[in-house]
Amino acid sequence: MKKNQQFTRLLLILVAVMIFHSPVFASDITMGGQLNASVTGFYDSQLGTGYLPQANLDLELFFPRWGNNEIRCAGNLYTDIAGGKVDFFWKRLYWKHRFDDFHLTIGIQPISWSFGSLLNPVDYSLGAVALEEDYSAKFQNAVEIYYPVNWHTSLSLVASSPGSLPDTKIGLRGRTLINDFDVTIHFVQEQVLAEKPGQQRFGITAKGDIGKYGVYGALGYYRDEKNSFSLLIGADYSYFFQAGNRLYLQAEYLNIPPNLLSQITGSLLTGQPNSQDKNIHLFAGNATYQIDDFSSISLTSLCNISDGSYLFMPGYTNQLSNSTTLNIQTGIAMNTKNEAELSSLLSGFSKPSQVFIELGISYAF
Amino acid sequence: MKIRNKILSIVIISIVLLITLTGVSLAQLTAEEIIQKRDDNEYIRSAYAEATMIISQGGRRIEKSMIMHSLEKDALVEFTNPADRGTKYLKRDDNLWMFFPDAEDIVKISGHMLEQGFMGSDFSYQDMMESDKLTQLYTFTLLEEDTVNDRLCYVLEAIAVPGEKVSYYRRVTWIDKERFVALKEELYAESGRLLKTTEVEEIREIEGRWLPVQSIMENKLRKDTYTRFIITEIELNPEVDERMFSLQSLR
Q: DSSP character for B118?
A: G
Query: Where does residue A264 rank: exposed (0-12), middle (13-18), buried (19+ CB within 10 A)?
Result: buried
pLDDT of res. B18: 42
Does the predicted model carry a pTM greater than 0.95?
no
> CB B92 to CB A209 under 8 A?
no
Q: Mark A28-51 as b/e (b = at least 16 C-beta within 10 Å).
A: eeeeebbbbbbbbebeeeeeeeee
Lowest mean per-residue pLDDT among A81-90, A108-117, A326-335, B123-132:
B123-132
Contact status of A207 with chain B (Cβ, < 8 Å): yes
**β-bridge partners, A87:** A78
Q: Is A124 on the interface with B (CB under 8 A)?
A: no
| Cβ atoms of residues B62 and A319 within 8 Å | yes
Reported as a single tens digit per residue, the pLDDT across B210-236 is 999 999 999 888 888 889 999 999 999
Q: For residue A75, what is the nearest residue in chain B, using CA coordinates?
A: B102
User: pLDDT tens, A336-348?
Assistant: 655 544 444 444 4
DSSP labels, B232-246: EEEEES----GGGGS
CA distance A52 to chain B (A): 25
The C-alpha of B147 sits at a distance from chain A's nearest C-alpha, in angstroms, of 30
Cβ atoms of A350 and A331 closer than 8 Å: no
Q: Write the residue in B104, B107, B219 that is nearest to A115 by C-beta.
A: B107
Q: Is the ipTM of this complex over 0.90?
A: no
User: Is A365 part of the contact surface with chain B (CB cutoff 8 Å)?
Assistant: yes
Span of B68-72, B116-120, B196-200 with lowest mean pLDDT: B116-120
Q: Does residue B165 belong to the interface with chain A, where contact is any CB pair within 8 Å? A: no
Residues in A 93-122 with any Cβ partner in B closer than 8 A: 103, 109-110, 112, 114-116
Domain A2-364 is of which CATH architecture?
Beta Barrel (2.40)
pLDDT at A351 over 80: no
Query: Per-residue pLDDT averaged across B192-196, rounded?
Result: 90
Query: What is the tens place of the pLDDT at every residue in A146-155?
Result: 999 999 999 9
Q: How far apart are CA B47 and CA B72, in angstroms?
A: 9
DSSP state of A63: P
Q: Looking at residue A129, what is its pLDDT?
A: 45
Angstroms from B111 CA to nearest CA on chain A: 6
Report the gap between the CA of B193 and the closest CA in chain A (Å): 9
- DSSP class of residue A7? H
Residue B117's pLDDT band (boundaries 50, 70, 90)? low
Percent of chain A with pLDDT over 90: 55
When pLDDT is averaged across residues A216-227 and rounded to a whole number, the result is 93
Cβ of A319 within 8 Å of Cβ of B62? The answer is yes
Residues of A in contact with B57 (CB under 8 A): 292-294
Q: Which domains does chain B carry?
A: 32-250 (2.50.20.10)
What pLDDT digit, counting tens, does each position of A6-27 carry? Answer: 777 777 777 777 666 666 666 7
Percentage of residues in chain A having pLDDT higher than 70: 84
Say how many CB pairs under 8 Å bridge A and B. Answer: 121
Q: Give the Cβ contact number of residue A302 at 10 Å.
A: 27
Partners of residue A189 on adjacent β-strands: A170, A200
In chain A, domain spans: 2-364
CB contacts of B189 in chain A (<8 Å) are 242
Residue B6 confidence (pLDDT) above 70: no
* Mean pLDDT within A269-290: 80
pLDDT digits (tens, 9 = 90+) for A310-327: 889 999 999 999 899 999
Is B190 an 8 Å CB contact of chain A?
A: no
* Residue of chain B whose alpha carbon sits nearest to that of A183: B108
Beta strand A69-80 pairing with A85-98 = antiparallel
pLDDT band at residue A106 using 50, 70 and 90 as cut-offs: very high
Contacts of B169 in chain A (CB under 8 A): none
Using only C-alpha atoms, what is the Rg of chain A?
Answer: 22
Amino acid occupying residue A289:
Y
Judged by CB atoms closer than 8 Å, whether chains meet at B105 and A214 is answered as no
Taking the Cβ of residue B108 and every Cβ of chain A, the question of whether any pair is shorter than 8 Å is answered with: yes
Please give, rounded to a whole number of angstroms, the shortest distance from the CA of B84 to a CA of chain A. Answer: 9
Q: Is B147 a residue whose pLDDT tops 80?
A: yes
CA distance A112 to B44: 36
pLDDT of residue A93: 94
Distance separating alpha carbons of residues A167 and A192, to the nearest angstrom: 7
Q: Do A180 and B248 touch (CB under 8 A)?
A: no
Closest by Cβ to B112, choosing from A237, A294, A364: A237
Q: Do B108 and A323 touch (CB under 8 A)?
A: no
Residue numbers of B between 75 and 104 with CB closer than 8 Å to A: 81-83, 85, 92, 94-95, 100, 102-104
CA atoms of A64 and A71, how far apart (whole Å): 8
pLDDT in tens, A243-257: 768 899 999 999 998
For residues A169 and A157, is the Cβ–Cβ distance under 8 A? no
Contact of A72 with chain B, judged by CB distance below 8 Å, is answered with: no
Task: Give the closest of B81, B110, B247 to A209, CB-based.
Answer: B110
CB proximity list for A10: less than 8 A, separation 6 or greater: none
Q: Chain B within 8 Å of A89 (Cβ-Cβ)?
A: no
CA neighbor of B110 nearest in space, from A119, A213, A308, A295:
A213
pLDDT confidence band for A80 (50 / 70 / 90): confident
Residues of chain A with Cβ-Cβ distance to B120 below 8 Å are 293-294, 319
Average pLDDT of the segment spanning B147-170 = 88
Mean residue pLDDT across chain B: 83
For residue A364, the chain B residue with the least C-alpha distance is B83
Residue A222's CB is within 10 A of a number of other CB atoms, namely: 23
Q: Does A74 touch chain B (CB under 8 A)?
A: no
Give the C-alpha separation, A235 to A254, whole Å.
12
Q: Would you say residue B26 has pLDDT above 50? A: no
Q: Is A288 on the interface with B (CB under 8 A)?
A: no
Q: Are strands B46-57 and A354-364 parallel, antiparallel or unpaired?
A: unpaired
**Which residue out of A102, A136, A151 would a mutagenesis test of the B interface target, given it has the greatest number of B Cβ atoms within 10 Å?**
A151
C-alpha dihedral sign at B234, B236, B238, B242: positive
